Amino acid sequence: MPTQKEQFLRTTSFPQQDNVAVQTLDMLNLPAAASSGDFFRMRTQADSSGNVGKKESYTLKLNGKVCDNKLNGISFNEIRKLHTKSKLLCCHFNSQGELLDAAGQNMKVHIWELGNYNVNTVEGHTHHVTDVRFRPDSTVFATSSLDRTVKIWDAAKPSNPIGDIVEHAEQVMSIDFHPTKVGLLSSCDSNDEIRLWDVNRGDCKLILKGGSRQVRFQPQLGDLLASSTENNINIFDVKTNSIQKKLQGHIKDVRSICWDMSGNYLASACEDIARIWPVSDGKCIYELFSSGNKFQSCTFRPGHSQVLVISSDEFLDV
């Protein structure tokens, strides 16, 4: 367990509110130019008409670019919204930041063109979409679903999938493209099975055990593959197809994992705590505890290892 000095510390508490509240975190010695960071809480919630019998609508908000601010470090400005009639479960930008895919319980994929804010919606899955990931430097993306399939799409011609992967025997929970090997895709299912695919041929290259919630390749090199299963995180060596490290310490199921852009650090989140791990030794060095709202996912701000964004039921924590 990390010492008290090594933990993220909340120094101020704020009542829940619709605008942004700020708490200071002791960022200690995270590998970045800034010596300290700020904690932001942004509230998000489903819109409801309040009329009996009317379904809630859900909103994906696109915020203006994150920019430096002398006082607080980060600011957000809402510029667009995407409304759906059911919950969104996943989203992903392409490498150039020109496209944003979002999907979830309505079995549809919403492709948002950020240059003109047009939205194309495509269908193909027969159950909830669990994950969506773009291939690096491409308009091609993949989706996974509880219908036990993985589908390959091209956002430039999105009307129909350009590939289908149907060999999983259980619900497919997550997918990720390799950062340099263009045709290599990883997937995991609810039976703790990880598969590596050649999507150009549609062939399964390898089956591993040890991932039932999420899979993420190490950025840039792709030498490592992180997976989460129950309350554990496995780090696979892609070359030897063996587990290099097991990251243990979470009590509850790990809901989300993400790499920083250097590939040296991994963040993880279960419902009540987020952790940061250096993959060199696999020992947790920082912890951030939830103040009541259950954590759902986490991601590093690209190029800024000191900024970790964590989503919960109603808030974004930065």
pLDDT score recorded for residue 63: 53
Distance CA 297, CA 166 (A): 27
Residue-wise pLDDT tens digits, 232-288 = 999 999 999 999 999 999 999 999 999 999 999 999 999 999 999 999 999 999 998
Burial of residue 152 (CB within 10 Å: 0-12, 13-18, 19+) is buried
Pairing mode, strands 214-217 and 224-229 = antiparallel
Q: Bridge partners of 106?
A: none
178 is written with which tokens? 């390799």
312 is written with which tokens? 């919960």
Distances (CA, A) of 10 to 41, 102, 290: 12, 32, 10
Distances (CA, A) of 87 to 128, 293, 313: 10, 17, 12
pLDDT score recorded for residue 83: 79
Q: Give the three-class secondary structure for 225.
A: strand
Q: What Rg do the C-alpha atoms of the chain give, in angstroms? A: 19
Residue-wise pLDDT tens digits, 70-108 = 344 556 667 777 777 888 899 999 999 899 999 999 999
Neighbours of 196 (CB within 10 A): 21
Contact 11, 27 (CB under 8 A): no
Contact 86, 96 (CB under 8 A): no
Q: Give the three-class secondary structure for 5.
A: helix
pTM above 0.95, yes or no: no
Distance CA 257, CA 76 (A): 24
Distances (CA, A) of 76 to 40, 221, 266, 273: 10, 31, 25, 24
Tally helices (H) and strands (E) across the chain.
0, 27
Distances (CA, A) of 102 to 83, 93, 141, 179, 304: 11, 9, 11, 21, 24
Range of 65-69, 253-257, 297-301 with top mean pLDDT: 253-257
Distance CA 271, CA 292 (A): 9
Q: Which residue has the higher pLDDT, 7 or 161?
A: 161
